[in-house]
A and B are shown apart, each in its own frame.
Chain A
């Protein structure tokens, strides 16, 4: 071993020791001191009740399937609408001027209004028109609210991606005789989309959580289901169960997005 390796080896062992000790100290503090608080027994019974959790968990997972369904049909539509809005905002042709104005207004409005408000307004407003079944379904209009809000954000990310492609790529493509449209489709967009995959992953994770906002207008998804159990059993544990189910999905997804981002910044350097 070189003296550098020897030194680094010692350093590494030292930092592992310190990290382990401090972690153990924190754990001991939590395990020992939290149960000593006066309300702990009550909290444990109403939030971390094993019996309640076991009883409600299967139904919560059942309800979570609805979250996944709503997510699955919303996400592709968001991607498509977001991309169209991004392209419309940068449209150069004067004939498309109204489209440009419209798409700018679209992103301004839906990024400027809280998601829950959009869900309320669209989710209650449009069925209020007295449309026949199935067009009065809160699933449709709730999903639409999510699609509109998220498309506005996703469009802005796509636009940033388009801007991130170096202008020399456009020059090179134009110099070959390609049209503006072909340059966008074949050269700029593929690179732009690839550049923003990590950011869009984060949007997907946020969407996955915001699906729960639809519970306010009717659909019995996991949050609503947990609320039903709470009232039924006078116990908050179902909410903790719901949180666990969310984390099982979102933590791997977040890690994956971080990994993509790290890989991308490595490639750029």
Chain B
């Protein structure tokens, strides 16, 4: 049994089928990268896994339990699945530290003092100890995105989802955020990324999935998918993406 299993996940917006029967296994500690053109369904798939979008059909199994059953309270699953967004989405009216402490305070009913050491150690680990008291608009894009990652980690999730988290960053800030991902991988975090960073995916991912029109056309280890893609659509996409 894989940590996270998607079985025939279907998501429609009106008549548009965005995820058309997606199957995917993510093993514990694996980093899986979703690649594909904009509109292929990568982001929507991640939002479905986090139950931010209700799915029409299929199952999403976390540790063998289907979390996408209609009518089920999504909160329980979201506690275990962290998500980081393209545009950071930090809460502008809170400091970096307050951003990270809000969810554990409310969801686990812990006090600030109980949490502070724990959360502060996350800031230290990712080189932001001196930025904890800053508000988001006082931080660079790279710093904001690292705070967003810390905020998700503060809930101690089992799985982390990353939705094109470097796409809104200036090129020179991308590296510091990708470094955080590598660090998390070393620590054994289970991760699913939607990304346009092909070089990073090639070097760091355990598995690559190429999505087109809401389906996983091809998947495999990076060497195989990048060096010897089987499907024509994958070849075309990669030849353009790697140019």
Contacts and interface: CB of A to CB of B under 8 A. Distances in A.
Contacts of A172: 83, 85, 89-91, 148
A171 B102 contact: no
A187 B103 CA distance: 11
A175 B102 contact: no
Given A168-B85, A186-B102, A175 B78 contact: yes
Contacts, number: 62
Most buried by A among B50, B106, B107, B152: B106
Given A171-B52, A182-B106, A186-B106, A177 B89 contact: no
A168 B78 CA distance: 16
Contacts of B50: 175
Interface residues on B, range: 20 to 34
A169 B106 contact: no
A173 interface: yes
A171 B91 CA distance: 11
A175 B99 CA distance: 13
Nearest to A176: B103
A177 B103 contact: yes
Given A171-B52, A190-B93, A177 B75 contact: yes
Tell which of A168, A169, A175, A194 has the most Cβ of chain B within 10 Å.
Answer: A175
Interface in A177-201: 177-179, 182, 186-187, 190-191, 194
Contacts of B85: 168, 171-172, 175
B83 A175 contact: yes
B79 interface: yes
A174 interface: yes
A169 B89 contact: yes
Given A168-B85, A187-B91, A190-B93, A174 B107 contact: no
A177 B24 CA distance: 24
Contacts of B102: 173, 176, 178, 186-187
B152 A176 contact: yes
A176 B74 CA distance: 11
B11 interface: no
A169 B91 contact: yes
Contacts of A191: 91-93
Interface string B121-159: 000000000000000000000000000100110010000
B82 interface: yes
A176 to B, nearest CB: 4
A169 B85 CA distance: 10
B87 interface: yes
A177 B50 CA distance: 10
Contacts of A186: 91, 102, 106
Interface string A157-179: 00000000000110111111111
Contacts of B82: 175-176
A177 B155 contact: yes
Contacts of A177: 75, 78-79, 103, 107, 155
B107 A178 contact: yes
Given A171-B85, A186-B102, A176 B93 contact: no
B93 A194 contact: yes
A174 B50 CA distance: 9
A184 to B, nearest CB: 12
Given A171-B85, A172-B85, A178 B91 contact: no
A179 B103 CA distance: 10
Nearest to A194: B93
B78 A176 contact: yes
Contact of B107 (A168, A176, A190): A176
Nearest to B148: A172
Interface string B48-63: 0010100000000000
A226 B182 CA distance: 76
A174 B52 contact: yes
B106 A178 contact: yes
Contacts of B91: 169, 172-173, 186-187, 191
Nearest to B107: A177
Given A172-B90, A186-B102, 7 more contacts: A168-B85, A169-B91, A176-B107, A176-B155, A177-B103, A182-B107, A186-B91
Interface of B: 47, 50, 52, 74-75, 78-79, 81-83, 85, 87, 89-93, 102-103, 106-107, 148, 151-152, 155
12 contacts: A169-B89, A171-B47, A172-B83, A172-B148, A173-B103, A174-B78, A175-B83, A175-B85, A176-B102, A177-B107, A178-B106, A182-B106
Closest 4 CB pairs of A and B: A172-B89, A176-B103, A177-B79, A175-B83
